[in-house]
Amino acid sequence: MTETVPFQTNCQTCPLRRKSVFRSLEDKELDFISDFKTGELTVEAGATIVQEENKSPHLYTILDGWAFRHKALADGRRQVLNFALPGDLVGLQLAVLNEMQHTVTALTDTTLCVFQRDRVWSIFKDYPSLAFSMTWIAAREEQILDGHIISLGQRSALERLAYLILHLYDRAETIGYASNQALDAPFSQSHLSDALGITPVHTSRTLRKLQEKRLISWAKDRIRILDRDALEKLASYESMADECRPLI
Amino acid sequence: MTETVPFQTNCQTCPLRRKSVFRSLEDKELDFISDFKTGELTVEAGATIVQEENKSPHLYTILDGWAFRHKALADGRRQVLNFALPGDLVGLQLAVLNEMQHTVTALTDTTLCVFQRDRVWSIFKDYPSLAFSMTWIAAREEQILDGHIISLGQRSALERLAYLILHLYDRAETIGYASNQALDAPFSQSHLSDALGITPVHTSRTLRKLQEKRLISWAKDRIRILDRDALEKLASYESMADECRPLI
DNA sequence: CGGTAACTTGACCGACATCAATTATTGTGG
DNA sequence: CCACAATAATTGATGTCGGTCAAGTTACCG
């Protein structure tokens, strides 16, 4: 990944927090978060971070790496619900609903900040701006899911893929995982397939088609957006445009 | 045609709040909500409640009636993102993200409690348990959307329809809009189609197939679940099981 | 009643799935 | 550094679910 994370990352000097996308905090809040954080968890690519039905006592923020939320039907069909990047909360549903209906898996080697679920209430009690941030983050996830729903319901495979590439690129760019329309893709075509709701075979063909149209290139797990305007048009892409967001 | 009627329903004696699904509140919180509520909005079936890109100064809770959240692509293809029932918040994304990327439309004649967006902050500042409720509600919506995503991505048309019927029935039942496995469906087949991501023609055929299998009946806009176990199995349905939820 | 919108039905078509066979690519131990 | 296996990606042939088009048939409403 882009930067090397030391053994323990101090919240006050957190490299993520320095990025301009993230809202700055009062010292009081920062001190609380620093205290709220009880450790770091490092997992290898492919490892499960939170399992459905398993009530982990933790809440996490991704510090470094890619993860994805997914969910399976009884017969094994699997759907990727969303991807998660540094700054994203993992386990919010569990923390507030006390129930988790999906699994979160690391896509790359990933480092997470660990928080204790049983202290979540004190956020609401004593740190209103952090409480607001929690709601903000949940609402933003909702907005992203809305985007995926319209993709799955209405777009063709080609359009869906175009949309997903733009979406992932933009999210990756804000936290420094992509730049110059190039993104190191940590996912296999089968991850894409599970996110798009199409088979791996068709994903391969669809990727090829996007390349033949000279909209993107895909080589050695590096995706490059060659013609952004055309790709956005194809996908009827609308960007999220949150210049500034909270980080817990 | 919309009209605003001030205070027909008092929060202290709100009929919704009496239902056992809803968590009871401290007097202090109830008084706040009562004060937070600035009026009621009644709209006819088909009317827009909140429009994408239109920054309404309001946040709503549905008091009576059905609504749906939806979103369109540039070329007019439309997707229903989710349905909304009494007790559901409308405009939460707008309230916290200050941006709305979907439209909310009334399905039936609908009454909503009206709150001022600019006072949302005071919830977080002074009423932590209400703030928690906001996050809870957002996380639950997320969970529902997760369910729709796996439906759209992995289930066949028949399975999707089965899932949606069970989902809507269960939600309707908790607030008293359905009972004994029978639901007065306020939506047309084209609403269903837009939610399922299939064409109206295919919705008709799929509905027929569910009836031929004797899993449901559909007559005069009344859906009856005839064989719940079989329907759940077909849909690989998992229920939400929140025995108690907050109401703002 | 007549007119419009919602639903149904049939014939045909196309996007994507499935099956199957190669061909990279990656990882492992000798 | 090379076999070797295992996994991931590509390609082609064929099948099917759901889309499209078009013509009814309701049901609803002024």
Q: CA nearest B134 in A: which residue? A: A135
The CATH number of A11-145 is 2.60.120.10
> From CA A121, how far away is CA A124, in angstroms rounded?
5
> From CA A135, how far away is CA A139, in angstroms rounded?
6
Q: Quote the longest CA-to-CA distance of chain B.
A: 55
Mean pLDDT throughout A78-93? 98
Does the domain made of B148-235 have the CATH classification 3.40.50.2300?
Answer: no
The answer to whether the beta carbon of residue A77 comes closer than 7 angstroms to any atom of strand D is: no
Which residue is nearest to the C1' sugar atom of C17, using CA? A199
Residue closest to B25 by CA, chosen among B133, B176, B141, B170 = B133
Mean pLDDT in chain A? 94
Mean pLDDT throughout B73-88? 97
Percentage above 70 pLDDT, chain B? 97
pLDDT band at A6; cut points 50, 70, 90: low
The strands making up B89-90's β-sheet, listed across from edge to edge, are B2-5, B37-43, B110-116, B58-64, B89-90
Q: What is the per-residue pLDDT for B1?
A: 42
Q: Per the structure block, which two tokens stand in for B45? A: 């079936």
Residue B164 in this model has a pLDDT that exceeds 70: yes
Q: Which residues of A touch B141 (CB under 8 A)?
A: 142
Residue A2 in this model has a pLDDT that exceeds 60: no
Q: Per the structure block, which two tokens stand in for B29? A: 């919180």
Write down the domain spans for chain A: 11-145, 149-235
Q: What is the per-residue pLDDT for A158?
A: 98
Answer whether A79 sits within 8 Å of B197, measured CB to CB: no
Residue A5 in this model has a pLDDT that exceeds 60: no
> From CA A158, how far away is CA A235, in angstroms rounded?
8
Residue closest to A164 by CA, chosen among A237, A104, A233, A90 = A237
Q: Give the homologous superfamily in CATH for domain B2-143.
A: Jelly Rolls (2.60.120.10)
Q: What is the per-residue pLDDT for B7?
A: 55
Q: What is the per-residue pLDDT for A1?
A: 43
Same fold, B2-143 and B148-235: no
Q: Which CATH number fits domain A149-235: 1.10.10.10, 3.50.50.60, 2.40.100.20, 3.20.20.70?
A: 1.10.10.10
Q: Per the structure block, which two tokens stand in for A99? A: 């129930």
State the SS3 of chain A.
CCCCCCCCCCHHHCCCCCCCCECCCCHHHHHHHHHHEEEEEEECCCCEEECCCCCCCEEEEEEECCEEEEEECCCCCEEEEEEECCCCEECHHHHHHCCCCCEEEECCCEEEEEEEHHHHHHHHHHCHHHHHHHHHHHHHHHHHHHHHHHHHHHCCHHHHHHHHHHHHHHHHHHCCCEECCEEECCCCHHHHHHHHCCCHHHHHHHHHHHHHCCCEEEECCEEEECCHHHHHHHHCCCCCCCCCECCC
Mean pLDDT throughout A96-114? 96
In angstroms, what separates the C-alpha of A100 from chain B's closest C-alpha? Answer: 9
Q: What is the per-residue pLDDT for B9?
A: 81
Percentage above 90 pLDDT, chain B? 92
Q: CA nearest A92 in B: which residue? A: B139
Q: What is the per-residue pLDDT for A7?
A: 59
Q: What is the per-residue pLDDT for A245?
A: 95
Q: What is the per-residue pLDDT for B220?
A: 84
Mean pLDDT throughout A43-69? 95
The more confidently predicted of residues B241 and A217 is A217
Q: What is the per-residue pLDDT for A243?
A: 79
Residue B112 in this model has a pLDDT that exceeds 50: yes
